[in-house]
A and B are shown apart, each in its own frame.
Chain A
Amino acid sequence: MVKRLFVNLLIFLLFFNYTLIKADFFSYELYYNKRIIKKSEPFILQAEIKGDFDPEKIEEFNLPSTNYYRVLSIEPSISKSYSIVVINGKKQTQRNISLTYYISIIFLDTGVVHLKGPSFIYKGKRYKFKDIDVIVKGNNQNITKTPTFYFHISLDKKKLYVGEYAELTIKFGPRNDITITRIDLGNLDSLEYNLKKVFLVKPLFKDNKDIEKTKKKVDINGYMYTIYTLKYILYPIKDTTVYIGPLFIRYAQLVNNLWIGDINRVARSNKIKVYVKSLKEELPVGVYTISSNIDKHEVNLGEGLTLTIKISGYGNIRLLKKQELQDDNFQVFPPEVDYSTIEENGRLKSIVTFKYLLIPKYIGKIKIPSLSFLYYNTQKEKIDTLKTKSFNIVVKSASDNDSNKALTTITYSKKRKVFLNNKDNYLQYIKKGDIDIEYLYLSNRKIIFFLLLLLMLNFYDIFYMIVLYYKNKLLGSYTLRLKKALIDKNLSDIEKILYEIVYKKIGKRNIPIDILREKAEKVNFVELSYILSFIEELNKAKYIGENIDDIFKSYKDIEKMFNKIVSSKKWKEL
């Protein structure tokens, strides 16, 4: 029971509070017509609080006097209005209250006086208006006349490149202390037409409602003006120098004179000189920034990924040439291009987006190369490049996830193929058992050593072959030696020459003469046996001590016989 009562009470309190808690919307601002006044002239301030609030709760509205100024009077005036607003399909009545305090001030001294803003308390909270500086001049001093109608044109750039755009701002409006009955925009209407000779013109505000929104109270040289703003975007086409303005507006000013009535006046604007230059190449002009990203950093083979490049900046971005991404690692499709413009800080920002679809061809780590775009940088006044980042992506084999599909086949010889299918889709186990050790039996150095050793082993044979070679050479010239030996009657030389011939023919040395003679007689080798008998007889004579001259005389044909045995075929029979 107690609980129920408590809950009900809580609900009631919440509901009650909800009805009571109602937001107060109000804004407060100080208005004046001019800040430059004469000492004797009263300065009138308007402190306006407007919105949906309870005016009775406003307390202690105060602006204290100081040594520099005196507050003569503070007079409040209130106006109420109701409007019907539809919010979320429901009709709601809205209260608009405007509470204005007219404050009359008189200044005691000349110079710049800092006037502290008045303050008030609303529901226990203190609010304070902004401070203002008032220029007070002596009665004898002249006050420079400010125009009753403000009209000014400006362009954000003085030098323009063909393709680069500029913003033309036109500001106009009457001074607050005068009343205007009629406005004729003069040649402002034909401005667009005139500008089109050199520029492509795009007005920022199309409707009068938009122009109405730009209405602002602005302090210009100490006087308050109600200023309207017009904006045009100009894209230069030609390479020229252009003057914009002067423009004029006709308006009728109300004068408090029954006889005169309204006075027709003309307001003139200033004049701007614009230089338009053209580039040799057709490039986008302005200041741009680039950003790039990819949607995936890991893909399966055959799967696509998107590379998005976004370039934004102030300029004719449409002249940006789309770049082709050329890379052997990917199949690249032509990019999707999207142009858009947004308003940022009162300026038009162009954005272009290139979307490349890439399909990797290989497995592994692949690098997406960076792309570069050319443009004319108006800040640096030179051709600049915009570069994208390069990305590293990992391409996986599709079969990493899907084991049922056959993998890549890699051949290692013409006859046999290794199929890395399910059967072999794992690492083969390590080798067990004793370690096998290989080493080169003959390393490069050892080969030379080995060959030298082989040479040494056969050295004796080789040496003998060399000796034989030279012996054969000597044999060829034995006739001279023989003649000499015969003249000298040198038995040992004659024997040597014979055995040289014998060795050459048979390959044997140190065969006793008698054995050789027997063999020669056996095969009927007449010439050899003739020589051998000659040598035998000589040996006998030498042994006995006889004169050998007779032997030489009896063996006259010995030289002929030597010649014969050299070319004889009887040797084979021996």
Chain B
Amino acid sequence: MERVIKILGIIIVFLVNFYSLSFTEEEINLLFKQANKYYDNAKYDSALVYYSKVDSILSASGKYSYKLYYNMANTYYKENDYVSSIYFLEKAFLINPYDNDIITNIAFVKSKIGDQRDLNDYFYFYIKIFNIKVYNSIIILLFIFILVTLILRFFKSKKKSIYKIVYTITIIYLFSFLIYTIIYLYFYKNFKYAIVKEDTSLYSEPFNGKYVSNIYKGYKVRILKRNGKFLFINYNKKISGWIESDRLLLINF
């Protein structure tokens, strides 16, 4: 009885966490390919409509696609909307920071916008460690460890030493996973970035503040504080101040 309960439990865990995309996957693929066709025929408006459809379907179910964001960024670039282009490129980079095309395009669009901020920023360094791909692969590995441990235990391995080694590794891995999760959550909570929608000014205080400096559209800024409608942002050491949240496009999942 004890065994049956445990095996059922494992199945439930896997079903809950690794459920498939179900029937919409084919539809999404069709829409995506149709959008790509429009892009090839230089019908960027229509391409954007289809890409946006895919985006809305995916984001409704909490899913993301770096290919989609990358292609959207290209389409916006062709429409001369550099702000949206850099915004979607940054989103694509969050999901897949190992794609060189994304990095090249970010550098290219940045040079067009005039954003001098280096790609050698801490953000770009951290994102390579703390990203969805790494996190998901860590989770999969964790499940494998747990599964092996349980199998060894339930089927009463004759070699106790193997069971003990696997068990200790699983425990250590579980703890390191927890630490990674805490840092991952901390990183996404504290390293919030946004793209400036339009040329605007920064102020020393949220309400009735003095003019501090200017910030230009397409620039990527870090959000440090929030006070109601206003956000305290930082571009570099000199350029930081309060801005209305309407003037920013938040880069997040």
Interface residues of A, Cβ cutoff 8 Å to B: 328, 362-367, 392, 395, 397, 407-408, 410-414, 418, 420, 424-444, 446-447, 449-450, 453-454, 456-457, 460
Contacts and interface: CB of A to CB of B under 8 A. Distances in A.
B103 interface: yes
Contacts of A414: 120
Chain B's interface: helix, strand, loop or mixed, by majority? helix
Interface of A is mostly: loop
A436 B119 contact: no
Nearest to B67: A431
A364 B67 contact: no
B71 interface: yes
B216 A365 contact: yes
Nearest to A366: B216
A570 B101 CA distance: 72
Contact of A440 (B29, B65, B136): B136
Contact of B17 (A362, A366, A441): A441
A395 B116 CA distance: 13
9 cross-chain pairs, A with B, having the tightest CB-CB distances, nearest first: A364-B114, A412-B119, A363-B114, A431-B67, A428-B101, A439-B63, A410-B107, A430-B71, A435-B32
B70 A431 contact: yes
Given A407-B111, A442-B139, A449 B119 contact: no
A437 B21 contact: yes
Interface of B: 2, 6, 9-10, 12-13, 16-18, 21, 25, 28-29, 32, 36, 39, 54, 58, 61-68, 70-71, 74-75, 77, 95-96, 101, 103-111, 113-116, 118-120, 124-125, 132-133, 135-136, 139-140, 146, 150, 181, 185, 199, 214, 216-218, 238, 253
A446 B17 contact: yes
A434 B36 CA distance: 11
A14 to B, nearest CB: 62
Contacts of A362: 114, 116
B66 A436 contact: yes
12 contacts: A365-B114, A413-B120, A418-B107, A431-B70, A431-B71, A435-B65, A441-B135, A442-B181, A450-B13, A450-B17, A453-B9, A456-B9
Contacts of B118: 410-412
Nearest to A412: B119
Given A410-B107, A413-B124, A453 B12 contact: yes
A173 B123 CA distance: 87
Contact of A428 (B2, B104, B119, B214): B104
B144 to A, nearest CB: 13
Contacts of B116: 362-363
Contacts of A446: 16-17
Contacts of A457: 6, 9-10, 150
A439 B119 contact: no
Contacts of B119: 410-413, 418
B146 A436 contact: no
Contacts of B139: 441-442
B77 A427 contact: yes
